[in-house]
Amino acid sequence: MKDKKGILLSTTLKVVIAVVCVVLLLIFGAKTYGMFQEESNLEKATKSLGEIHSAINKAELSGEREETWIYSPTSWSIVAWPYEEDFRRPIECSRDKYCICICDVNKIDLWITKIPLGKETFLDSCNKKGVCIDIEGDFVKTINKNNQNIPVEIENPPMRLYVEKFSGGYNLIEG
């Protein structure tokens, strides 16, 4: 006669080990997916920044208002530097030029920690996870739908963005 207690213990141990292995595989899969997603968002931001740069070049040549479409990454922000009266810039920007960045600002973390959305937040976010490009000109500003000179969030892409050239500088206007 077999020992039923030994069989039950052996089977339980196998089930526990199997569950632990499945959980570890799920964690590994989620981490791997997150790495690829983050890289993908940086690639999307780089492509969108290229579209903006192309529209700026067209506006420079034509002197007319140019339209471009931004397709991603969702919930990231387009920020012009220097931001407001602060002349600091993200690491990717040259110190003597204006630049435009597309950065991931984690608004959920800001809401949880009650940190106001301001220049420190955007500078930190652009340094951590963002792409930037230098712009020739005397100024560059981002203007949202409410005609405010603040960073423009990429919500519900595709998003229309207008580029206007004004006496040596550019306005990027959310459409």
CA atoms within 13 A on the CB side of 107: 7
> Per the confidence metrics, is the pTM higher than 0.85?
no
Return the higher-pLDDT residue of 113 and 170: 170
**Residues 6+ positions from 142 with CB-CB distance below 8 Å:** 78, 79, 80, 100, 149, 150, 151, 152, 171, 172, 174
Q: What is the C-alpha to C-alpha distance for residues 125 and 105, in angstroms, rounded to an integer?
A: 6
Return the higher-pLDDT residue of 106 and 100: 100
Position 141 scores a pLDDT of: 84
121-129: average pLDDT: 84
Q: Encode pLDDT of 2-48 as tens digits.
A: 566 666 667 777 777 878 888 777 777 666 665 555 568 889 999 99
In the predicted structure, residue 81 carries a pLDDT above the cut 50: yes
Helix%, strand%, coil% for the chain, nearest 5:
45, 25, 30
Percent of the chain with pLDDT over 70: 79
CA atoms within 13 A on the CB side of 106: 10
69-90: average pLDDT: 83
| Residue in this structure with the two tokens 């981002």, named with its chain if needed | 142
Q: What is the C-alpha to C-alpha distance for residues 153 and 96, in angstroms, rounded to an integer?
A: 26
The whole-chain average pLDDT of the chain stands at 79
